[in-house]
Amino acid sequence: MNQLTRAALKDLGISEEVLAFADPILDSLKDRFASIDELADYNQLRIIRAFQEAHIGEASLKGTTGYGYDDIGREGLEKVYSLYFHTEDALVRPQITCGTHALALALMSNLRPGQILLSAAGKPYDTLEEVIGIRPSRGSLKEYGIDYRQVDLTEDGSFDLPALEKVLREDEEHRITLVTIQRSKGYQTRRTLSVDQIGEAIAFMKKIRPDIVCMVDNCYGEFTEEKEPSDVGADMVVGSLIKNPGGGLAPVGGYIAGTASCVENAAVRLTSPGLGKEVGASLDVLPQLYQGFFMGPIVTASALKGAIFAAKAYERLGFSVLPNGDEDRHDIIQAITFGSPEGVIAFCQGIQSASPVDSFVACEPAPMPGYDSDVIMAAGAFVSGSSIELSADGPIKPPYSVYFQGGLTWPHARFGILKTLQNMHERNLVKLK
């Protein structure tokens, strides 16, 4: 980094010792970062093509109120998503409050009492446990008579195809009607699934059961590869707009892109039978939703660079990181295992202190809705809870891992990691070498 940047970082509390530790790591990543920029270039052009094919005009940026009838901006946005994801239709709404809501909506609208949901990638993310009914909760799938089966991944993080075949063939009444695949790791120390892995698993299951619906939780994975799960057979891809596809600009929302039937089922559940996609005012958020999606690949590239830098730095310090600094990336999340709550807390407090908003706040572990342990969350974000912005979080339980993600710009992501190193160095939790 140049002298002006070094001087600015020192003014922000980064010591020469931390900078000297980071310099060779950053120098080693130049070629890797160039390939990330090439991927962002490609996906940016794909999005531009989707905008143009959807004939997005100035009028598309105007919102509606009330019922939201004839909202050409809302319809245009959903057309852009369906074109980018190569799906028959899409539901993209500010009324979808978060990623968990989007996933619950997709599941609850496409499953019926007496049917079975199968998770092909092991235990789902913590907040889905109450949606499914693994942990008792009002309104869960289990409460509505929908059962659940789970097939764990193998020890190397691959799909257990023989186990999946066994479960599907034993289901002689075809009660298993929907399979969910969580692309990212959640609060687990397993590898994120690649699009190719997901495609192979979907093809394998559909060969046994062509009628089965395959849904992919796409959170944190958008724009990290040249393809999306919908390009390899997924009937639905589901995600949050305050993650990758919102580009840091979307203030709220979620999406479901997939077959016309799956999307219509979700729309009817979101609004009402007989109304479906025809209602739902977009209010004043359309410019942010459009521009956020437009910016998504570039912002995601910054987050990827930050994740790789974090992996390289903490790998060098001797901590277990997943993925490691040289592996291909399939999402923006970087897991670092510290083995102690002090490490998780110090890391998160370093990220918080690097934030543009609430940098003066000392985040602490606390109970959180949907989780079975105290959780610490660091996110001084322009959009509350936006995890495409620089953020880190983790449950305070063994193996005491932190999950780092986001960074609207590479300079901010770099600064955040340097602040974590500075914080841990000052607390004698690491020895820079």
Residue 19: inside a domain: yes
> Mind giving me the DSSP string for 33-101?
HHHHHHHHHHHHHHHHHHHHHTT--GGGG----TT-TT-HHHHHHHHHHHHHHT-SEEEEETTS-SHHH
31 Cβ contact list (under 8 Å, min separation 6): none
Each residue of 298-320: pLDDT tens digit? 999 999 999 999 999 999 999 99
Neighbours of 384 (CB within 10 A): 11
The answer to whether 216 and 99 are in contact (CB under 8 A) is no
When pLDDT is averaged across residues 211-232 and rounded to a whole number, the result is 98
Report whether pLDDT(187) > 80.
no
Domain-embedded: residue 52: no
Helix (H) or strand (E) holding 32: helix 30-53
CB atoms within 10 A of CB 145: 11
Q: Are 399 and 337 in contact (CB under 8 A)?
A: yes
Please report the pLDDT score of residue 363 as a whole number: 94
Tell me the pLDDT tens digit for each residue of 368-415.
877 778 999 998 899 998 999 999 999 999 999 999 999 999 999 999
The CB density around residue 66, as the number of other CB atoms within 10 Å, is 7
Q: What pLDDT, on the 0 to 100 scale, is given for residue 70?
A: 95
- Mind spelling out the 3-state secondary structure of 248-260? CCCCCCEEEEECH
User: What is the identity of the amino acid at 412?
Assistant: H
In terms of domains, do 201 and 320 share one? Answer: no
The pLDDT value recorded for residue 189 is 75
Averaged pLDDT of the chain: 96
Query: What was the pLDDT predicted at 185?
Result: 85
Question: Which pLDDT value is given to residue 7?
Answer: 97
Domain's final residue, options 293, 310, 329? 293
Domain count within the chain: 2
Q: Which residues pair with 393 in a beta bridge?
A: 377, 403
283 and 324, same domain (yes or no): no
Instruction: Verify that 226 and 173 share a domain, yes or no.
Output: yes
Residue ranges making up the domain that contains 362: 3-43+296-426
Are 148 and 117 in contact, with CB atoms under 8 Å apart? yes
Q: What is the pLDDT of residue 433?
A: 77
Please provide the DSSP assignment of 277-328 as one string. GG----TT-HHHHHHHHHHHHHHHHHHHHHHHHHHHHHHHTT-EEES-TTS-
Cβ(119)–Cβ(180) below 8 Å: yes
Q: Are strands 254-258 and 320-322 parallel, antiparallel or unpaired?
A: unpaired
- Inter-CA distances, 148 with 109, 352, 427, Å: 16, 38, 45
CA torsion sign for 242, 244, 248, 250 is negative
Q: How many CB atoms lie within 10 A of CB 234?
A: 27
- Domain of 204, CATH number, reads 3.40.640.10
Q: Is residue 55 part of a domain?
A: no
In this predicted structure, the answer to whether residue 292 has a pLDDT above a threshold of 80 is yes
Q: What integer pLDDT is reported at residue 190 of this predicted model?
A: 86
